[in-house]
Amino acid sequence: MKTTIDQENISKQKALNRMKNNALALLGLAVLLFIIAIYYKIPMLQAFSEAAMVGGIADWFAVVALFRHPLGIPIWHTAIIPIKKNEIGENLGNFVSEEFLNRDKLEIKLDEFNFATKASDWLSQDENANKIASLVAVNIIPGILKTIKDEDIKRFIQVQFKEKLEGINFGDWVALALEPLQKGQVKDQLLNNILEVMTTELSNNKDLIRKKVKESTPFLSFGLADKSISEGIFNGLYEFLNEARNPESEIRLKIDEYIYDFLDKVKNSEEMRIKINNMILGFAGKKEVQDYVNGIWDEIKLSISTDLEKGDESSIKKSIASLIQGFGNGIKEDPVMIDKINNFIKNDLLSVLLNNKEVIGDLISSTVKSWDGKEVSEKLELEIGKDLQYIRINGTLVGGLIGLVIYGVEQLYHYFII
């Protein structure tokens, strides 16, 4: 698949070939005119065509000599760019470091450019924000998901989960959550609700109690004691629960006392808090909990991938675009931030560039030197060769006109002098 750069190079090559053909056609026309002038003995046309051919051929030689040896003949001072590649690279590096990386010139340009304002204007536009969001959503995020190892992420989540749990004093949390129970109304209401549920469940499971009693009585009793035993158990439990529902009963007072003692231990006993913490941490260490924690990353990754597959409807992409656009609008409305950004670029970033300008120059020089001479020549010809063909065309035309001028001067000389 051809990239955008490849397509541009193909287009440039076609344009270059077209201009070469035009220059060659003009030179061919000059040759044709020369033949006609010789055949029909037309001195003026002969003078024009002769000079045009000389000018066209001379300029063809000059243009070709920049990039390669004309006709493959290693003539002295031809193929200048491939041969002088290293010197060109060194001069280019020196030019950039000495002329381009100049504080006074760069400061003037940066002040005129106002980078922060232009950047914020660009970012605040829907089209540009969506372009950046698409780049992040299509390339960066999927690339990150493919690069990172699931095992590393899961291990990281497990470590963070464990450290966070160990850093929490669950005893304090439990004490804080149960503190309302020490207030009579809340405690009594909750306890009454629990006792009501237990009474209802006891009534609903009367047959189950009888079955369990029957399974537990001796076989030799022939079931004679089952009914009385189960009725005794049921009635005893039922009376116990009913009595516990009475706020003034002895059972209720003992329950209240137990609850109060438990809450007091949770609040004030370090040993009880350690037990609560150990119990919760022990629960968190169970395989089922660990598997659930490991599955968190799989769910997150699947959710991200599924959302990104929606394209323009991706909520992640929309959020990124909104964030970028909001950032651009925020900068535009904040003169202080604009000044800070511009001053950062003008002072800090510029200082880094200027302090390393020799390194930058050396980098440019060494990079150009590392290029293949023929490749450099072909690339440069692709970029500027089209315009250089106008030199050949102008050389042919100007040469022809100069030939006419010389012919005219010669005729005047013969007419007036001789």
pLDDT at 91: 86
For 320-342, the pLDDT digits (tens) are 999 999 988 888 888 888 888 88
Above 60 in pLDDT, residue 95?
yes
Distance of alpha carbon 17 from alpha carbon 23, whole angstroms: 10
Mean pLDDT across 114-126:
88
Distance of alpha carbon 372 from alpha carbon 86, whole angstroms: 10
Which of the listed ranges 67-76, 167-176, 347-356 does the model predict with the highest average pLDDT?
67-76
For 155-173, the pLDDT digits (tens) are 888 888 777 777 777 767 7
Q: What is the pTM of this model?
A: 0.48
Choice among 85-89, 151-155, 349-353 with the minimum mean pLDDT: 349-353
**Coil/strand/helix, residue 37:** helix
How many CA atoms, within 13 angstroms, populate the side-chain half-sphere of residue 294?
A: 11
Task: Kindly indicate the confidence band of residue 2, based on its pLDDT and cuts at 50, 70 and 90.
Answer: low
pLDDT at 399: 93
For 162-212, the pLDDT digits (tens) are 777 777 777 677 766 666 665 556 667 777 777 777 878 777 777 776 777
Distance of alpha carbon 400 from alpha carbon 55, whole angstroms: 8
pLDDT at 218: 56
Q: To the nearest 10°, the Cα dihedral for 370, 94, 66, 26?
A: 130
Domain ranges of the chain: 4-83+371-416, 163-291
Q: In terms of pLDDT, which residue wins out, 413 or 31? A: 31
Mean pLDDT across 350-373:
83
Q: Report the b/e string of 167-185 with b at 16+ CB within 10 A.
A: eeebbeebbeeeeebeeee
Choice among 205-219, 232-246, 377-391 with the minimum mean pLDDT: 205-219
Distance of alpha carbon 216 from alpha carbon 86, whole angstroms: 102
Task: Kindly indicate the confidence band of residue 220, based on its pLDDT and cuts at 50, 70 and 90.
Answer: very low
Radius of gyration of the chain (CA): 47
For 246-263, the pLDDT digits (tens) are 777 787 778 777 777 777
- Residues 6 or more apart whose CB falls under 8 angstroms from that of 366 comprise 89
Dihedral sign (CA 382, 387, 393, 398): negative
pLDDT at 178: 66
